[in-house]
Structure formats: C-alpha cells, structure tokens
Amino acid sequence: MDTFYYPEHIRHDPAGLHRPENPEKNLYYSEIAQRGLVIRQAVEAAHYGPIRPPADFGVEPIGAVHDHRMISLLQTAYHDVHQDNPDGVLIPTTFRVGQRGGGHKPNTPVGLLGYYSFDIGCPVFKDSWEAAYWSAQTAVSAADHIVNSNDQVAYALCRPPGHHAAADMMGGFCYLNNAAIAANALVDQGHRVAILDVDFHHGNGTQAIFYNRSDVLFCSIHADPLEEYPYFWGYADEFGRGAGEHYNFNFPLPMGTGNAAYLEALKQALARIKLFVPTSVIISFGADIGDCDPVGGFKIDSDGFRQIGAEIRSLGLPTVVVQEGGYLLSTLGGHVVSFLDGINGRN
C-alpha cells in the first residue's frame, strides 16, 4: 500500500490560535499539525510500503468541484490583509444565514470568508492555502495510483481534512473537499465511485457536492446530528435530490456507540454500496470514532477499527482511504494502523 503525504502541511497549524471563550472543547487546538506527524510515524513504523509526496495535478481537479471565487479567495485573502507578516490570521465573524438573498458578495476578504464559511472552523493563516491545495493533491494522487497500478488500496494521509467543505462553503477545519475532488477525478476517468464516510461527524460537504448526482453514491455513518456537529445535516431522511435521489444514505448513530452497533450500521451501508455496483471506493476515514476522542463520542477500539477495515476490504474493490478527523494523539496512530491492517488483510 502506497501512502501519499505532504510534509509541509505542518506550516498550517491552528494550535497557535488561542480561543479562551471556548475552553471546554478547545476546537482550535484539535486540528493541529501534530496529528499528521503522529499518523505518518505510525504508518512508517508498521512498514506499510512507500510514503510518497503527492504529484501536482494543478488547480483543475479542485476547480471542477469548488466555486472559483472561493478558491481565489483562499489563494489571496491572507496576503491581501497581512501581506508578508507570518503571524496573522483571518477569522470570519459574519455569515450568510438562511436565504442567500440576491447572491451579493462582499468585497473584503473577511466579508467574503463569511460568505464562504458556515462556521468559525476555518481560520486562514499564511500557509493555509498551500496546505489545503496539497491536501487535495494528496487525495488525487492516491486516486490516480489505484487507477494506474495493481494496488488495491492507496492511503491519502491528508491534512487539513476535507469532508465538511462543500462546493462553496468551508467549515469544520475543512477548506477543500479532498475526498470529493478525488472522487470527481475518478469519475472523469470513467469510474463509478462510492464514497463511504466513517468519520465521527457527518460528511455534510461531500453530501452537498454530490446531492444532485447519480454517478457518485454517498453513504455516511456518524453521530446523530440531533446531538452533534454539524447539526443541520446528516439525518436519515436525506436521500439526495433530482437525479441524485436515492444516491445518498445517512446512518446516524447515538453517542456511546461501540463496535457491535457500529459494524451493524456498516453492513447496511456496504449493502447500499454493493447495490450501486461501483468500480472504486473512496473512504473518508476519521479516527475520531475512537474511544475517548476529544471531539468524538463513540467507543470504537482497536479491534473495531480492524474489523471496519476488514468489512470494507470484503467489497473487493480498488479503494482510496482519505484521512479526515482523529484528534486523540495518544491512540491516533494505533487506531489508523488497525484500520489499515483490516483494509489490507493483515492480521
């Protein structure tokens, strides 16, 4: 199994952003650069084949999924406000709520960030665009690898994550939707793609991107949005719209869900995927389903992670694993490796 990884993601590190008004969950301390380092070290120690830098597929695969003004905003907003100061940050404070009105867009970088954000989870630092760009390239590189090799599994060790980012909306630490960009690139090569999201949180961005499409199936297993972020999406009655109707399936689960109930939901999701008859699968993999994760609430242990991987392996399809969340540094590496053991058929 080849792993794709962009080491310079560490220059985008929200760990330095102090948010004293949010002490309990400390969300801004969660999506820290160290996550990527911890996972990389664990994958290396488990001797899982080469760890390679992503290739550069350019902005085209990103632009095929995301709003072009949002992309150019991410490229330029920081420099427009802070020039070469390395220590600044942009945080949106005002959001478009409800109807989008006449579609007017503000002129200022911070106003536009509010236009293109649904929460305060995407602060823009000096190197955020570079990190998000290469995180997307990491996913596209892994997708390209399973198309052009005999390998069954490729691992995109992405950071920042992507599954909360919609075509024209950022949030939840996600600037660009890595899994969706990779899926769309596979569709462009004639693939029929199923995306299975096993992060603790609903993949609302991925759902939104493919909600009207029948060429990509989206299934997500996640915490019940009645109780958990992202709150407004991820309910069991969201099935898709128009041509996409019946190509979107959500499996919300209660807080405290353990291995057995999780695996039951996974079997239902895999049954949907088999009916779709895909030619390749993309897994939005969040290790935040692990027991005691600071932003999680499920109780999946190492054996559960391995079984989840093994069930996905039973599909027998080319599979791209795209890293999403996972925040408990003490168990993060072990849980990721357990999952990779399962999906690669290692005991």
Buried (b) or exposed (e) across 83-93, using 16+ Cβ within 10 A?
Answer: eeeeeeebbbe
Q: Is 288 in the site for Zn ion (CB under 5 A)?
A: yes
Q: Return the residue nearest Zn ion (CB atom).
A: 325
Nearer to Zn ion, 53 or 294 (CB): 294
Mask of contacts with Zn ion, 242-281, x by CB under 5 A?
A: ----------------------------------------
Q: Which is nearer to Zn ion, 203 or 244 (CB)?
A: 203
Closest distance to Zn ion from the beta carbon of 293 (Å):
8
Interface stretch with Zn ion, choices 84-92, 137-145, 212-220, 319-327 (CB under 5 A): 319-327
Contact 214, 231 (CB under 8 A): no
> Phi first, then psi: what are they for 89, rounded to 5°?
-160, 150
- Region from 141-149, 232-240, 243-251, 323-331 binding Zn ion, contact rule CB under 5 A: 323-331
Q: Does 290 bind Zn ion (CB under 5 A)?
A: no
Phi, psi of 280 (to 5 degrees): -155, 160
> Could you give the CA distance from residue 190 to residue 212 in angstroms, rounded to a whole number?
19
Which residues on neighbouring strands pair with residue 51, listed in sequence order? Answer: 3
- 200 contacts Zn ion (rule: CB under 5 A): yes
Least CB distance to Zn ion at residue 262 (A): 14
What residues are annotated to the active site?
Answer: 164
Part of the chain binding Zn ion (CB under 5 A), chosen from 102-110, 197-205, 207-215, 235-243:
197-205
Minimum distance from CB of 51 to Zn ion (Å)? 23
Q: How buried is residue 60: exposed, middle or buried, by Cβ count under 10 Å (0-12/13-18/19+)?
A: exposed
Residue 199 engages Zn ion in binding (rule: CB under 5 A): yes
Distance between CA atoms of residues 311 and 267, nearest Å? 8
Q: Which of 309, 325, 333, 342 binds Zn ion (CB under 5 A)?
A: 325
Helix 302-313 / helix 329-343 crossing angle, nearest 10 deg: 30
d(CA 38, CA 28): 18
Residue count at the site for Zn ion (CB under 5 A)? 6
Among 14, 286, 290, 318, binds Zn ion (CB under 5 A): 286
Instruction: For residue 191, state whether it binds Zn ion (rule: CB under 5 A).
Output: no
Distances from the Cα of 309 to the Cαs of 35, 94, 127, 270, 335, in angstroms? 20, 40, 33, 12, 11
Residues at the interface with Zn ion (CB under 5 A): 199-201, 286, 288, 325
